[in-house]
Amino acid sequence: MNILVEASLEPEVSSTFNVEKIRADFPILNLKIEDKPLVYLDSAASSQMPQPVINRLNYYQTAQHANINRAVHYLSEVATAEYQKARCKLQQFVNAREDREIIFTSGTTDAINLVMHGYGRKFIQADDEIILTTLEHHSNIVPWQMLAKEKGAKIRVVPINEAGELDIHEYKKLFNERTKFVSLIHVSNALGTINPIKEMIAYAHQHDVPVLIDGAQAAPHIPIDVQELDCEFYTFSAHKLCGPTGVGILYGKAEMLESMQPFKGGGDMIASVTFAETTYAEIPHKFEAGTPPIAAAIGFGAAVDYITTIGLEPIAAYETELLNYATIRMLEIPGVNIIGTAANKAAVLSFTIDGIHPHDIGTILNEDGIAVRTGHHCAQPVMQRFNVPATSRASFAFYNKKTEIDALIAGIKTVQKVFL
């Protein structure tokens, strides 16, 4: 934990990051909860939306809305072009080779289900093995379990150590001739662990095994280059990246997407339909049946513009500064245990307090206007590994500041006074 030594204990000091200027973009941060200023420390669940993204959504609904792909009238052409522009923004954001490698989905969960149905149900057979990790979110466990049950395939799980880091030696030992797919979380939502996915993808490829990366917690904090990573699939949701709910992307290598069967059937995903036979549209349309989340996708594009303008590298550096400050302050309080102490960690602080249930912690903090998440974080295997029913989780974004961490620390001391 030597990184902590370098962390500044001085509130509000960051030589390179003007957090007050950034906060001015987020109207919701001015809210008062129970007469106290909102301290929003739940960005890993959903981040807040800046004014430029709100404005973009507003402008689309006010002046550009129509259904896409289906008409020659002016508004439909504008909406179609804007939707396609959003796809290109996402292509650039992850450095995909081609825009048709970006599929708009309703979010990360939907994207993983798409790959399970489109790739898994077509190519995974009885006795095949799928590798997951202990750190997975339920959305990257349950679809594969459903597939395994249907096909008679097996799930193999990479264990983690006491710090919440994957055991890479064990990962490598799981591969054999029956291994057919790897699906991996990039950054743990429950613990913040950043996994060495590049090395893990390369190892899977030595065995000709394709890899899906669940980047729901990574894309808002770490620059992603899918060509450099060389993963077959990468997915994340807009609502954790300052965008709207209801949309996310699946990046897939074109040849993989082309080899897959459609997930959902309906309008816009076909080339021709007769009662005798239907042929499917080319990618990406093959995987975008029905009216897609047009407004949300355009808002997603605006969110990516906003984040790109600030820059993911300064964002990551500032968030690390917040994490280190919060970790030091938290360790000062007797009876507080940090769950997840990986050397390479995103700005997520999961903790328990001796003798106090996490839900009670969340409730008392809320009385001070402090929003943290309590529960199993849709990662029950992580909770089981650490033998806790739940944790409290503070997660930081680039619009948080050190005085908010001070408020959290004071809040935790209040919780201890109330319950102990």
Residue 107 or residue 292: which is nearer to ligand PMP going by CB?
Answer: 107
Q: Distance from first CA to last CA of the chain, Å, rounded?
A: 29
* Region binding ligand PMP by CB under 6 A among candidate stretches 103-111, 167-175, 200-208, 390-398: 103-111
User: How far is Cα 278 from Cα 296, in angstroms, rounded to an integer?
Assistant: 29
Binding status of residue 139 toward ligand PMP by CB under 6 A: yes
Segments in 207-335 forming alpha helices (H): 226-229, 254-259, 294-310, 312-331
Q: Could you say which of 50, 107, 243, 299 contacts ligand PMP (CB under 6 A)? A: 107
Residues between 62 and 81 with contacts to ligand PMP, criterion CB under 6 A:
none
Binding status of residue 374 toward ligand PMP by CB under 6 A: no
Residues 100 and 284: beta-carbon distance below 8 Å: yes
Q: Could you say which of 69, 109, 320, 350 contacts ligand PMP (CB under 6 A)? A: 109
Binding status of residue 216 toward ligand PMP by CB under 6 A: yes
153 to 192: interface string for ligand PMP, x by CB under 6 A: --------------------------------x---x---
Cα 98 to Cα 69, 84, 213: the distances in Å are: 20, 12, 18
Query: Each residue of 228-249: b (16+ CB within 10 Å) or e?
Result: ebebbbbbbbbbbbbbbbbbbb
187 to 206: interface string for ligand PMP, x by CB under 6 A: --x-----------------
Binding status of residue 250 toward ligand PMP by CB under 6 A: no
CB of 6 to ligand PMP, least distance (A): 28
3-state secondary structure 193-233: EECCHHHHHHHHHHCCCCEEEECCCCCCCCCCCHHHHCCCE
Residues between 321 and 340 with contacts to ligand PMP, criterion CB under 6 A:
none
Candidates 378, 346, 373, 347; CA nearest to 361 is: 373
User: How far is Cα 228 from Cα 201, in angstroms, rounded to an integer?
Assistant: 11
Candidates 226, 274, 250; CA nearest to 143 is: 250
242 counts as catalytic: no
Total residues belonging to the chain: 420
CB of 383 to ligand PMP, least distance (A): 14
Residue 129 or residue 214: which is nearer to ligand PMP going by CB?
Answer: 214
Residue 64 or residue 217: which is nearer to ligand PMP going by CB?
Answer: 217
Catalytically annotated residues? 378
- Name the site residues for ligand PMP (rule: CB under 6 A): 107-109, 137, 139, 185, 189, 214, 216-217, 237, 248, 378
